[in-house]
Structure formats: C-alpha cells, structure tokens
Amino acid sequence: MKIISSIVEMQSYVRSLKQDGKSISFVPTMGFLHEGHASLLREGRKRGDVLVLSIFVNPIQFGQNEDLDRYPRNMEGDCQIATECGVDIVFTPTAAELYPSGFQTSITVKQISQPLCGASRPGHFDGVATVVTKLFNIVMPDVALLGCKDYQQLAVIRQMTSDLSMPVHVLGMPIVREADGLAMSSRNVYLSPEERQSALCLIKSIKAVRAAYAAGEKDIAKLRNLALEIIGSESSVQIDYLEFCSGITLETAVVADKDTLMVMAVKVGKTRLIDNNLLNEDL
C-alpha cells in the first residue's frame, strides 16, 4: 500500500495509471475509520483496478465552535483497516497542501444544500463541495463511493458532479449500523455509556415511523409527531431537525410515499448525530 501526501505526486501517479488503462475507485473520508468506511472500501475494491482512500479532516466544512480540533484521529488504525480492505493508495494531504496561502475559490451548490444540515451549519456544504471537487481533480476517479448516512452530502455531491459534468460516477452505499441499530459514525466515540443508550431513540423512532407507514399511515404530521414523542422522551437529546422530504430533491414531502425520506439531526449531550431512512427501504 502506497501513502502519498503531495498533490503533485498523487496527480503524477494517477496519470501513469490512466495511461496504463487502469480504472480508479475512490473513497474520500476524514479518517477514524470504522466498519461503515470498510464497507465502502470493500465495494470500491470490486469497482476499480486501483482503490484510493483519502484521509483529510477538512477545516473549511467545520463551523465556529464545532469539533475540528477534537475530531477523532487514528492514522495507524486507519492504515490497518485500509490494508485489510485492499487499498492501493492512501492520500493524506495536509490543510496547507490543499489550501495554500492565497486560496480563494469556493464551490456552492445552491438549493439542495440549503435545508436540513445546511440551515443549521452555514457554509458547511460549500466546504464539502470545495474539498470534494479538489479531491476529484487530484485523484481523477472513475467511481467514488460515499455512505448514505450523510444523505444530504451525497445529494449535494451528486448534484455538483452532474452540474459540472465531472466524469465520475458517485455511488451511494447503505448505512452500516451497530448491532443495536445506531448508525456507525466516527463521532459515536464521543458518547458516554448513558448517552449511547439515549442515542438509540433515533433508530427507535425510525422503526416506529416505518411500522406506521407500513400499516397505511401517510399523514406526515402524524408520522413526525410519532417520532418526536419517542425522541422527546430522552432528556439528554435535543432535536436540530426532524423532517420528511423527497429522497430525490430533498423538498418537503406533503404526503408520505415510497420515495419519502425521514431525516434527522440531534445533539446527544454535546455530540451531533444524524440518521435517515427511506420509508420503503430496508434497515
């Protein structure tokens, strides 16, 4: 496995691979890898001749008073997982390498980035779109694999690649959950044992809404109230948003149907967690 930190070296290496007719699959991450990331890497191994993993905690997608400085990092553990999953190249640039002095360009994806996390984290998706554009330009992948847990992020990147005619297929992969149903996240490490139990209200609310929908309930207000009641029963959990929207456009849903996405963000103690589920999609 090759580790590269330089943009120039990465681009040069990729060009040589392309000249040899190799296809490239790519998994962009902020590191502190877990089984969710590993599932992307294993699928990526099947999708290209060369598998590239990037590890970069992107400062421009963090807002003021967010957890940039304490975001968990474990390069040794990440490289072990990468090796086990058959990664060929780990790209690990520094912030100074990606954003040198004088850097002044930002990518904005308009409507689809505005609601949900975009409303509570101003500028977040500009930071995501900008770094992903840079990474795509550097790695030049044929396919990029991203998790559906960050559903809005996936939607933003798909919109961006379509709008800008980027020659990369963006593949969304299913949420990977712990045995008790909590969506895997690098931030789960922040949770105390008590908070970890409280966080299960997310999957409980999803299951309750799915059961009500399967029984014939299509009224969005009733489905939302059902979820709010379950989450509201946990005193340590504060709701950022809980919405039902189109799984395609992220526009607010009027009536629940097979394409409706239940999506939420909460704070459990000081830890922000997100989760989602398409009402017709298996958990």
Among 278, 246, 283, 243, which Cα is nearest to 263's?
Answer: 243
pLDDT band at 159 (very low <50, low <70, confident <90, very high): very high
pLDDT at site 281? 86
Q: Which of left, alpha, beta for 123 (phi over 0: left; psi -120 to 50: alpha)?
A: left
% of the chain with per-residue pLDDT over 90: 98
Among 152, 107, 154, 138, which Cα is nearest to 26's?
Answer: 138
pLDDT at site 283? 81
User: Rounded mean pLDDT of the chain?
Assistant: 97
pLDDT at 182 over 90: yes
pLDDT at 282 over 90: no
pLDDT at site 126? 98
Bridge partner residues of 274 (DSSP): 265
Could you report the per-residue pLDDT of 21-65, keeping only the tens digit for each?
Answer: 999 999 999 999 999 999 999 999 999 999 999 999 999 999 988
pLDDT band at 69 (very low <50, low <70, confident <90, very high): very high
Q: Give pTM, 2 decimals.
A: 0.96
User: H or E segment at 79?
Assistant: helix 75-84
Please give the domain boundaries of the chain with CATH numbers for all domains.
2-173 (3.40.50.620), 186-274 (3.30.1300.10)
Mean pLDDT for the stretch of residues 211-227: 97
Is residue 34 part of the annotated active site? The answer reads no
Mean pLDDT for the stretch of residues 210-220: 97
Whether 258 contacts 187, CB under 8 Å: no
Could you report the per-residue pLDDT of 160-181, keeping only the tens digit for each?
Answer: 999 999 999 999 999 999 999 9
Helix axes 7-19, 124-139, angle to 10 degrees: 50
Q: Which of 34, 37, 124, 169 is catalytic?
A: 37
Could you report the per-residue pLDDT of 244-268, keeping only the tens digit for each?
Answer: 999 999 999 999 999 999 999 999 9
pLDDT at site 65? 85
pLDDT at site 224? 98
